[in-house]
Structure 1
Amino acid sequence: MSTIKEIAEMAGVSVTTVSRVLNFDDTLNVQDETKRRVFEAADRLEYQIKDKKKRKRKLKLGFFCSYSPEEELEDTFYLSIRIAVEKKMEKEGFKKIQINEHIVQEEAAKLDGIICLGTFSDSMVRKISEFQKPVVFIDTKGDLDRFDSVVVNLTHSVEKVLDYLVEEGHERIAFIGGCDIDSDGKELEDVRIPIFRSYMEEKGFLREEYIKIGGFTPKYGYKLGKELLAIKERPTAVFCANDSLAIGCYKAIQEAELQIPEDISVVGFNDISMAKYLVPPLTTVHIPMDFMAERAVDVLAERISTNREISMNIAVSAKLIIRESVSRVKQENKRCEK
């Protein structure tokens, strides 16, 4: 087995420097290039730390959530990811520094990297770029040439929902979605809308009056659900962009004295904790929120430690969770379509 002395000779540094680098001594003040030489020499010589437990550097990570606490409570998808990120950081021994759009260069300089969760305007992405820090975005893509990201494969996820509804005999399928307004005042269209349109158009089922766009909270699901029910030839199924919208849609349907799924089927998205407790339990798309959060922290920590220059975009798959809010189309409904 190699020794610290051999590593020091190969790296061209002192034995003391090798020892402090390999033990991740935070008080050591040497250039990154020196650390790199030490690690490379240790790797080539297959050096093993005696206790076989390499101490991890205690990173200081900025955590930037673009939404307000009130918005987080209205759509608990981001709340779930935030908690998962914080748990992962605590497990790794990393220090979380909560930051926002008012962060200045002096504050950013103290950070090792930044985790961004939510929706970010072009100007905010540019500001984050100016900090010259490793950055990972969760659930959105920043500058793909510079930043890492962990997102959901939305095309595959939306198509899985629609395939399932069509297999159950549905042709009159509606979509309830939302749009965000970023800090620049720019309206951001839900990327699921063009995916939905393209799929339905290809099948010959597209009806523009079945596409309703508002916000992402239950009140919009309720309002837009009522609008869909007011259409003379109402849809047989509603696909909601998140479970919060589905909850509002449930209320609209129940107030109209209709039954789910006998009269109209409903599908959500995200699989928040309460989805399985709705009556009937909601069929929805399960997003691996814990996995996304953990991968984001891992990717950021790896980029910090290796100085990786090539950015990564991780697109995770989602799973359709079939519960009791979807049924096959009744024959009388099929006849009405003719």
Structure 2
Amino acid sequence: MVTIKEIAKAVGVSSGTVSRVLNYDQTLSISEPKRQAIIETAEALNYATPRARRSAQVQPLQIAMASHADVSARIAVIHFLAPNEELVDPYYVGVRLAIEARCREYKIEIARVFNPDVPVDPSLLAGLSAAIIVGHHPRAEIESLARTCPHLIMADYNPRMPQFDCVRADLGEATVNILDSLDRAGYGRIGFVGGYELMDNDALMHGEQRCKAFIEWHEARGRYKPQLLALGQSERFGQNLRLETGYQQARTLLALPERPDAIVAANDNMAIGTYRAIQEAGLKIPEDIAVIAFNDIPVAQFLVPPLSTMRIPGELIGETAVDLMVERLNGRDYSKHVTIPTQMVWRGSARKP
């Protein structure tokens, strides 16, 4: 069994700090990124606190359905990332951990966790009360699941299907805020590294929210240059936004005759790859080129220089998804679309406007 001491060593804190964080000690004074790093490390090492182990033994909560019958709530969490992909993306680890923690509060049993390596068989959802779908899934798959499962809630994704509850951040608006800020800070040639959006297994080149907003913002000002847009295309969306893709696409931008003076990366992982490409080119951040990203994962503040990034509260998205699900189980018969605000965190990788 993994010990608290091993987690403490991995994160660089004391064993007492780890113990207090994992046992939800609200009196502990610790930064939120450090708290999140402890939780994510514990999860990655498959550590379960005594409190969590006791919670797992509690009988599921009896939730009143619209029919006024009492049933035990058992749900599925259907994730768009495989376990190894999630492990290298702390943002989605945070979303899932928040879902699991909120379910424990409600005494809801999570029946199964699916991933892309295991095809989702709709019949496996039979008898479950609801399913929370995390991230991008094809429309046809969502429609198929809906025929078996009475309630589907989308977390961190809007499939443009208004009949389903969804909770997410407005990445388009967040992108506009970043670009407005860079413009005010004096950056005039801004590049973008991101990925295609995949809709029903077809690549929609400019459909991803951040990419679409980037293009529209520049077109509205007569400044759009297609060569400043570098997109990675993979079989699945989750494989588009990785460190390796950020590195490769940033190299493309840096090879231009006139390189950008700032690069917006679609997430922090891609920004880390972008850092490497810039450093290999003998350039300095932010003196030669600025880098800005999305998510604010714990490692962002420890890069050199620390990364300026748009904080997306993945934990709140996960918690809200469970709250929406409970409302549905308690009889709400109309859909809700919830937008969680983002917050820009300025650090050393770009000039603050």
The secondary structure found in structure 1 opposite 2:150 is coil
Match of 1:226 among 238, 242, 251: 251
Match of 1:136 among 148, 153, 158: 153
Q: Which residue of 2 aligns with 1:296?
A: 321
Give the superposition deviation at 1:87.
Answer: 1.3
Superposition CA RMSD, Å: 2.4
User: TM-score, normalising length from structure 1?
Assistant: 0.77
Is the 8 Å Cα contact of residues 250 and 274 (structure 2) preserved in structure 1?
Answer: yes
Q: 5+ residue gaps in structure 2?
A: 1-59, 233-239
User: TM-score, normalising length from structure 2?
Assistant: 0.74
Q: Which amino acid aligns with 1:327?
A: R
Q: Percent identity?
A: 30
Give the superposition deviation at 1:73.
Answer: 2.5
2:84 aligned with 1:83 = no
After superposition, what is the alpha-carbon deviation per residue over 1:6-27, rounded to whole angstroms, capped at 9, x for unaligned? xxxxxxxxxxxxxxxxxx995x
Size of the alignment, in residue pairs? 281
Give the superposition deviation at 1:35.
Answer: 5.3
Q: Which amino acid aligns with 1:285?
A: M
2:302 aligned with 1:273 = no
Is the 8 Å Cα contact of residues 58 and 93 (structure 1) preserved in structure 2?
Answer: no
Q: Which residue of 1 aligns with 2:202?
A: 186
Is the 8 Å Cα contact of residues 169 and 328 (structure 1) preserved in structure 2?
Answer: no
Separation (CA, whole Å) in 1 of partners of 2:65 and 2:241: 48
Separation (CA, whole Å) in 1 of partners of 2:68 and 2:99: 32
Separation (CA, whole Å) in 1 of partners of 2:230 and 2:67: 55
Give the superposition deviation at 1:33.
Answer: 4.2
Q: Which residue of 1 aligns with 2:229?
A: 211
The secondary structure found in structure 2 opposite 1:145 is coil
Q: Which residue of 2 aligns with 1:113?
A: 130
2:218 aligned with 1:200 = yes
From the superposition, tell whether residues 202 and 181 of structure 1 become closer, same or farther in structure 2 (CA, over 3 Å). closer
After superposition, what is the alpha-carbon deviation per residue over 1:153-172, rounded to whole angstroms, capped at 9, x for unaligned? 12220111001100110110
The secondary structure found in structure 1 opposite 2:180 is helix
Separation (CA, whole Å) in 1 of partners of 2:309 and 2:202: 29
The secondary structure found in structure 2 opposite 1:150 is strand
After superposition, what is the alpha-carbon deviation per residue over 1:187-227, rounded to whole angstroms, capped at 9, x for unaligned? 24422112111111222322111000002101111111111
The secondary structure found in structure 2 opposite 1:261 is coil
Q: 5+ residue gaps in structure 1?
A: 1-23, 37-56, 330-338
Match of 1:284 among 309, 312, 323: 309
